[in-house]
Structures are given as C-alpha cells and as structure tokens.
Structure 1
Amino acid sequence: MTSNDAVLVLVVVTALGFDFTNGFHDTGNAMATSIVTGALPPRVAVAISAVLNLGGAFLSTAVAATIASGLVDSQDVTLTVVIAGLTGSILWNLTTWFFGIPSSSSHALIGGVVGATMAAAGSSAVKWQGLVSKVIVPAALSPFIAGSVAAIGTYLVYRLTRGVSEGPRGHGFRIGQVGSASMVSLAHGANDAQKTMGVITLALIANGTLESGAQAPTWVIVSCAVAIALGTYLGGWRVIRALGKGLMEIESPQGMASESASAAVILCSTNFGYSLSTTHVATGSILGAGVGKKGAVVRWHVARRMVAAWLLTLPAAALVGALAYWTAHGIGGTEGVVVIFVLLVLASVAFFAASRRAAVTPANVNAEWTGSVLPAPESKEATSWTPGST
C-alpha cells in the first residue's frame, strides 16, 4: 500500500465517522415529536429511523454530485484538504451535540470543506455561485417554507377535527405520526447520507482513483448508508430532547403536521440536488406547528439560541477546517494527515467521556417527557433544561 492509499483510507474512515455523527446528531429531526407525543417508544422510534435512513440513502445521488463537484474546484482539492474539512465538521458536530444544540451537520460539513479548500488554494477555488444557490439560499428559505406549511397544516387539522373529542383525536394522530415520522427518516437518509458520499467521491477524485465529475461508486453509497443508520440507531438523545421539549409542548396533531411538512420540503430539495439542512427544516416545522395552534406557547428564546448556532456553523466549521489544514500542511506529507487524524480521535474520545458524566438516555428522556420519573433536584438532568445545559 502506498502512502497516498494509506491517506485515502484515513480520509474514508474519517468521512464515515462524520456520517455516523450525522446520524446521531440528526435523529431528533425525524423522531423527536413522535417520541414526545407517545406515538413511538424511544428505542422503537430510532430503530425505525435507522432502517429508513439506510433505505433513503439509495434513493438519489443528486446531492452527492453537488458536494463532489458543485461547491469547490476538485482540481484544487487534495486528500489533506478533505480530511481537514472533515475534522472541522466533526468537531463542530460533537460540540453542538454535547450541548444539545440542533445545529446543521450539513452546513458543518460544507463549512469544513470550504474552509480547508480556501486555506489550501485561496478563495478562487470555491464555487461561490454554487455555494449561494445550493446551500445558503436554501438554508435561509427552508425554515420559513417548512414553518408555513406546518402552520397551515396544524390550523387545518385542528379546524377539521374540532368536533372530535380529544382522546380519539390524539390516538388517531399518534398513529398518523408513525407514517409521517417515517417519511422524515426516509427523506433524511436521501439527503444527508449523500453529503458524505459526495465528500468520499471528492477524495477519490483528488487521489486520481476517479475522474473529475464521476458518480459515487456503489461501495461508497452502501458504506455511507450503513454508517448513518448506525449513528441514528444509537440516538442523539440530547438533540431529541431539545427539539421535542425545548421549543414547545407539542401535541400529536401538531407533530404529524410538522413531520409531514419536513418530509415534503426535504424530499423536494433532494430532487433538485440542494444540500439542505434537515435540522433547519425540522425546527422551522415545529415552530410553525406552534404558530398554527391557537394558544400554543412557543419558547422563542430557545429558538433564538438555535438560530445563533446556525449562523455560527458555516464559519466556525470553516475556521476549524482551515486550522486543521494549516496544521497538517505545516507538518507535511502523510505524517501531517496522521497527526490530524489522531487529534480528531482523541477529541472525539474526550467528548464521549464527558458526555458519560451527564448521560442522556432513552430511559430518562422518556421519563422526563411522560412525567413518570423526574430527576433528583441535585442532578444535572434539571427539569427546566434548555439547549446548552448539561
């Protein structure tokens, strides 16, 4: 095995590691509202989401093509650039996951790759028109579009079922949530798994294994699908709790409306090759479901904290990606890539160890939401939890 092949292996492993973090970071996009309304038990919810994420990854490769060739000039990309970009995205993912903030894994990935590319070849290597049209504009519009659809849907379902007693109505919509949440999971797999496919394809092009503009090979599609499914099954309980309880107290009609809106927007964007943030869409849909129900209390201060994290994601991940590239380039050769990889592994282990000291599990999430068991007052699992607390 040549040194280039060894570096390529590290890049692929790192990319699949990002895909794994994407899975547990974005589980809440699909299943938070279904768990909080009692439509699905936590473990069953994430198992269904994992299977459908796996299947969704095979639906399309349009988004993968956008990542591989639509954002940066592949001729200026090296394996060092790719692993540096992945480092930026993974570290931002782990940071926001640890603090329970539903930030965008998609934008972390794009920010990391763009930052590393700029550090290596300057701003001219970035396809700014593609970045604006395929990433920034959809990011700005998607929460409002999804929120509007969810608000209208919520208003209509309450209006049309106003003569139905609360018990039968809630039971019926909880059954409907199983279908709508499943569609969000399928859509998430179709959009988000492709982003890692695009990055690995970009690495293969940089290594000369594939020609410029090539499609993702079958083994790349399968490995990315499996990685995101595994991450989804392990579950990002911190982020699930933020979306499920942090924004508002959600009922099953609102849950079904918000999930249906999310699935529709994500699937449409995937068809056009937009690298959409499923987190932005899901959050916008939940807020829209709150606006659509008369008397619903929306915690706008929590939403503002989420938006602040969204605005920071691209530049923060880009900065870390650039720093990682300069570090690897300064050391030079294969050794530089290995050092970055080892530092990333150590940082990941540190985040995991810290999270174990204030673990959020399916059991205590379910207990908090159902009210069956409340954390002890001195516990870090405070009942007044908001994103950002541990």
Structure 2
Amino acid sequence: MEFDMLLKKKLYVTMLSFMVLLLGCGDKIKPGTTREVEKKVIKTAVTTATVIQQPFIYEAVGTVQARTSSTLSSKIMGAVKAINVREGDLVKKGDLLVMIDDRQVSAQLRKAEAALSEAKRSEMSVKSARDAAKATAKLASVTYKRYLKLMEEESASKQEFDEVEARFRQTQASLAQTEAIVEAADQRIQQAEAVVAAALIGKKDASVRAPYDGKVTAKMVDEGDLAAPGTPFFALEKEGVYCVALVLPEKHIQSIRLKQKIKIKIPSIQNRSFEGFVGRIDPSADPKSRTFRIRVALPEDKDIRSGMFARVEIPVGEAGMLLISSTAVVHEGQLTGIYLVDSHQLAHFRLIRIGRAFGDNVEVVSGLKDGTRYVVDPPPDLMDGVKVEDVS
C-alpha cells in the first residue's frame, strides 16, 4: 500500500516537471539587455596621438625656509628684566625686544670712566715734567756749545768743560725719559678709552633690539631667567622673503644653474604653483648621501610660511611622451579611458592609464599607441560603435 502511494507521487512529480519544460520551450527567448547602437553619425573633433619631446622633470621635495633668519642671543651676563614680544609678533628694525639688568655693566662703565679720568690727569702731570725737562735740556745744550768754543780758545779749564758736558748729557737723558713717560701715559689713555667703549657697548647690549623687520617665530626665554653670553632669546625671520631648501642627487647637478627658473608647488595652500629661481648651489656634495644642497628663492606671498612642505620640479633632460588633450579623457568611476576612431570612422572606448599633466595636455602611460586617432572632446551621447564625423 505504501509502495503504491510512493510510486504515484513520483509519477506525479515527473509529469509536472515535463509540463513545465514544455511550457518553457514553447516561449520565445527574449534578446539581451544590450542597447542596439543607433544608426546615427556624431560630428566631433578627431585628432591623432603623437609622441612629443617634453622636459624630463625630477621632482624634489623640500622645506620652505626664510632666506634671512637669526637667533638673537645675549651678549652679557644678567637677569632678564622685561620681554616685550612673543611668538608671532611682527617687529620693526630697532624695536626693543628684551631688557637685561644693566647694574653690573653700569658699574663697569663708571669704573672705566674713572680710570680714563685718572689716566688723563696722569698724562697732564708727565707732560708738565716733560716741558721742564725740555727747558733744562735746552739750557744745558746752550751752555755746552758755549764751553766748546771756550775750550777751542783755551779760555776754560778741562774740569769746567767736563762738568758742563756731564750736565748736558744728563738733561738729554732726562728729556728722553720724560718723553717715554708721556708716550706711556698716552697709551694708558687709549686703553682706558677702549675699556670705556667696551663698557658702553655692554650697557647697550643690555637692550636687545630687532636687527631688521621680521616676525618672531620662537621665544626661548622668560622674565627672571639668568642670561649668559650666548643664551638664545628669540628666533627671528625676515617676513615675506622665503626659499625652498632641498637636496639634489649628484647625477642631476649638471642640469641646474644659478638664476634658473624653477616651478614650485606647495600642497598646503591649495597646491598653488610658484615660479622661483635657483639662488644657491652648495659647491661640494655630501660625501654620505652624494647630494648637493640647493636653495630655490620664492616670490613674496602672504600665504607662504616657514616650515611648509614643497615640491620642486627640476628639468633634467628631455624624453618622448605620448600626450593627449585632457578633454579627451573620460572618467568612469575609478577607470579612465578615451574614444578611439578606427578606419571605418567608428568610435571605440579604450581604457588608458594617465600620468602627469602638462598644461591642457595629459601624459598617457599605457593603453594608447603613437598615431592612434581619438575624439578630442567626446559629447555626452557618444557610445561605443557610433560613427564619428571629424569636424576639426
């Protein structure tokens, strides 16, 4: 009984499947979803891809630096009394930035001035002694000459002449001695004047002023700190005058020269491009990295800041590149392609890989050959297989 029931069920399923199959075979299979290309002609510009000699660009990376920068440091010993600026402040040449306690240098100045006064009084004293020695020497000289004539006339004794001659020699020696003392006094005055000048400079150095117009980029001292000679106070940069510091491999050093115009891009300010020039090339290479340090001067611009990252495009030769108009490139998601035109004037979409941009053109790295015809600016209704009429 159960066997008969199972057999009938299997037979029913088999007949049902057969009927479904017959119904499916009886219907006509519909065509695919591919749209049939419309029989129309699209008028558009067509051109031929050609290899063009373009400068080969070596892209170096560098850092924006101020062309003129300074670290202002202390020249004297003393406590910092006042600080008048902070980071980011703009300063003018001569502005007072830091005040250092000048009591010590003021005391040294007073001491030097006192020593100078003493040296001048001493000079006056020795000059008076020199004048007296000159008068005595002059009298002794006249007496000596008179006794010479008397000796020739045998009117004076030998003893008298010897005494006169001895006094003459003695006065001459005294005069020479006083002249030397006066000269030494003059030198002491010069030394005292030098000490006074140094003390005046020390007193002036107690006030640290801006050496040029610029911006304070760093502050390394606080009020109350003890400053010693060489203690850094501020980092100062001349505002608006920057350059890009980079290193160039030695194999490219022959391709660059001073005053050569260079293109620079700074990504942090909307990838803006600037035209600078080579301002400095180090005369020798780094023996470890085999590179030369280069400075490329930037034009003045309010958006440029020290420390920014920059890309520098340096022409180091020429190379053949396959360039096409950038308007010919069609973007489909993450893919890029162009419409090629065959000998039958039919458009065919071809995937390509693009490289760098050169103005209105773009480099094709792969997917296109020299001499291939392509649509310059594909219209929106252009599809694969559509006939194209060249109107260029």
Q: Which has the higher strand share?
A: 2
TM-score, with length taken from structure 1: 0.22
Q: Which has the higher helix share?
A: 1
TM-score, with length taken from structure 2: 0.21
